[in-house]
């Protein structure tokens, strides 16, 4: 975890606020890697008595843990019918669907299937599917690659000095980037002099201002602005 703290001074008409901004980053990202297994012609073109799997390599890239990515593949027969009796796959998070065995692939035609990658942990996840058949190049293999990524959790922690006037609480406003209008992000008047914004996203820059609320529900003008850049 990497924390950064930057101090800001927030000025109201009725109070002086100090707003330190802290960024919290949790998580890691894996790097994609491919494992390959071939036998005979593998995923190449289908000749007489051969079976081809297309694409021969299926790359899923980075997929967040807890989500999934789906891709389509196909088995193609050469100049003669091919009977595919089973498939075996390996690799963390991969599954095969959309096809039932045994299945006959007519000559010159194809039978589709679906591969799903649903990583359960962060990191590289090489894999392989081997289709067993009566083809001369059986088993026919397809290489799988992908990486599970752990989504990072970011938050901006805001704190300030209490107002020197009698107030019942504070409101916190935020905008994305340096343009646009501010939007209040606290659901109700904040009775304390701190607030944590846990809804920020990576790569965004946020501006924050606060206001104070007196007992007559009169709201002060915006404080001076504080900026937080989320890595």
In order of 95, 112, 143, 145, the CA distances from 88 in angstroms are: 10, 16, 12, 16
Residue 158, number of CB atoms within 10 A of its CB: 26
Q: How confident is the model at residue 43 (pLDDT cuts 50, 70, 90)?
A: very low
**Neighbouring residues of 222: CB distance < 8 A, sequence distance ≥ 6:** 173, 182, 209, 210, 211
Going by pLDDT thresholds of 50, 70 and 90, the confidence category of residue 16 is: very low
**Rounded-to-10 torsion of CA 98, 90, 77, 45:** 130
All residues at 6 or more sequence positions from 183 whose CB lies less than 8 Å from its CB, including other chains: 173, 174, 175
pLDDT value, residue 40:
37
Quick check: 4 pLDDT over 80? no
202: left (phi over 0), alpha (psi -120 to 50) or beta: beta
| Segment 156-177, tens digit of pLDDT | 999 888 898 999 999 999 998 8
Per-residue model confidence (pLDDT) at position 140: 97
- Cα 7 from chain centre: 31
Looking at residue 146, what is its pLDDT?
Answer: 93
Residue 26 is classified by DSSP as: B
Task: Give me the chain's average pLDDT, please.
Answer: 80
Looking at residue 144, its pLDDT comes to 97
pLDDT score at 25? 28
pLDDT tens digits along 193-230 = 999 998 787 778 999 999 999 999 999 999 988 999 98
């Amino acid at each position: 975890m990497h924390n950064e703290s930057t101090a800001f001074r927030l000025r109201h008409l009725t109070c002086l606020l100090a707003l330190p901004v802290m960024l919290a980053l949790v998580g890691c990202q894996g790097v994609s890697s491919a494992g390959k297994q071939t036998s005979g012609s593998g995923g190449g073109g289908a000749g007489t008595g051969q079976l081809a799997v297309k694409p021969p390599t299926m790359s899923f890239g980075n997929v967040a843990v807890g989500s999934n990515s789906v891709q389509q593949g196909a088995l193609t027969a050469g100049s003669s019918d091919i009977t595919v009796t089973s498939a075996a796959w390996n690799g963390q998070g991969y599954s095969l669907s959309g096809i039932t065995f045994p299945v006959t692939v007519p000559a010159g035609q194809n039978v589709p299937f679906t591969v799903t990658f649903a990583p359960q942990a962060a990191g590289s996840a090489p894999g392989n599917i081997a289709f067993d058949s009566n083809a001369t190049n059986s088993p026919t293999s397809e290489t799988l690659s992908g990486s599970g990524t752990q989504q990072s959790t970011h938050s901006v922690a805001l704190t300030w000095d209490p107002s020197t006037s009698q107030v019942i609480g504070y409101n916190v406003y935020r905008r994305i980037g340096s343009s646009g209008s501010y939007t209040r992000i606290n659901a109700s008047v904040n009775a304390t002099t701190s607030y944590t914004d846990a809804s920020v996203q990576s790569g965004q820059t946020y501006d924050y201002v606060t206001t104070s609320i007196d007992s007559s529900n009169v709201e002060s003008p915006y404080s001076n602005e504080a900026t937080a850049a989320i890595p």
